Amino acid sequence: METLPTTTVTSSKSERRGRSSKYQSTSKPSVIMAFFSCVAWLYVAGRLWQDSENRVILNNMLKKNYDQKPKVLTVDDKLMVLGCKDLERKIVETEMELTLAKSQGYLKSGSSSSGGKRLLAVIGVYTGFGSHLRRNSFRGSWMPQGDALKKLEERGVVIRFVIGRSPNRGDSLDRKIDDEDRARKDFLILENHEEAQEELPKKVKFFFSAAVQNWDAEFYIKVDDNIDLDLEGLIGLLESRRGQDASYIGCMKSGEVVTEEGGQWYEPEWWKFGDEKSYFRHAAGSLIILSKNLAQYININSGSLKTYAFDDTSIGSWMIGVQATYIDDNRLCCSSIRQDKVCSVA
């Protein structure tokens, strides 16, 4: 009986130690988590404080730089400060006067003529790489050659076959033309033009520009390669028109714009010609005559002049925008039955 109390006490002590050990084991993770939470909050608070200080420093620097930044001047302010407004106006006026003078033929260039005297006409006969036989046919009929060609130039008339360069620059096509030109000396080779059917509307710009740059003449004439000329008749017609500035001379026509793709004379930009689909008045492409100042206008503005599917309508569109005098001469209608016409279809 004396041992029972001892057993009870011992059991009670064991239970207390068990509960104490349990409490200690469950509280350790909580303490550790609380510690790391505190560390994390301290880190975040430190970063926020640091970022806040950085922002304050950056704001102060930006404000300081902004206060020190010079005032932004407008273009007008700068011109007023430099005293250039009046000078700018004078420059613009001078450029406009210069453009007007150039369009009227007052242009210093390397133009050459017979004995320094202005020529009557420069005639450019279109040709192609495969037209050697046709060129020889012209040389044997209405077009002089050799000494006769030089004598014609002394009378004030220059005639040249007009051709561009091959798409494969320097190939056999180019070499044959160069050889023929060395032998005949009757070509105007357009170095910057690529000879191709689809490039024909652009060829007329290169021709008039090159002709104006090389010769000083009253008139510049474009002739298709299927046209025979009555040369003396043409010279007489031009002599009667000498001194007539801004002359746009030819067989004037108009007509329907072809809108069906694949059709003959199809115009890809037909929609630009209005609801009636009709071309404006223009000289037929077989033979077109321009006075000096109109050819000069093409030379000066060739980079911005719009071309259409055909060279005659392209030239007609350029003439609408200038004060050209339209001269409709039936003698230049090469397919007509007039007896006194100066050209005919070969």
Q: What is the pLDDT of residues 156-192, one digit of tens each?
A: 999 999 999 999 999 999 999 999 999 999 999 999 9
Query: Which CATH fold topology does 119-251+284-345 show?
Result: Spore Coat Polysaccharide Biosynthesis Protein SpsA; Chain A (3.90.550)
Where do the domains of the chain lie?
Answer: 119-251+284-345
Query: pLDDT category, 39, cuts 50, 70, 90?
Result: low
Residue 18 has pLDDT above 80, yes or no: no
Q: What is the pLDDT of residue 108?
A: 43
Q: What is the 3-state secondary structure (H, E, C) of the chain?
A: CCCHHHHHHHHHHHHHHHHHHHHHHHHHHHHHHHHHHHHHHHHHHHHHHHHHHHHHHHHHHHHHHHHHCCCCCCHHHHHHHHCCHHHHHHHHHHHHHHHHHHHCCCCCCCCECHHHCCEEEEEEEECCCCCHHHHHHHHCCCCCCCHHHHHHHHCCEEEEEEEEECCCCCCHHHHHHHHHHHHHCCEEEEEEEECCHHHHHHHHHHHHHHHHHHECEEEEEEECCCEEECHHHHHHHHHHHCCCCCEEEEEEEEEECECCCCCCCECCCHHHHCCCCEEEEEEEEEEEEEEHHHHHHHHHHCCCCCCCCCHHHHHHHHHHCCCCEEEECHHHCCCCCCCCCCEEEC
Q: pTM here? A: 0.67
Query: pLDDT category, 3, cuts 50, 70, 90?
Result: very low
Residue 296 has pLDDT above 50, yes or no: yes
Q: Which residue has the higher pLDDT, 168 or 280?
A: 168
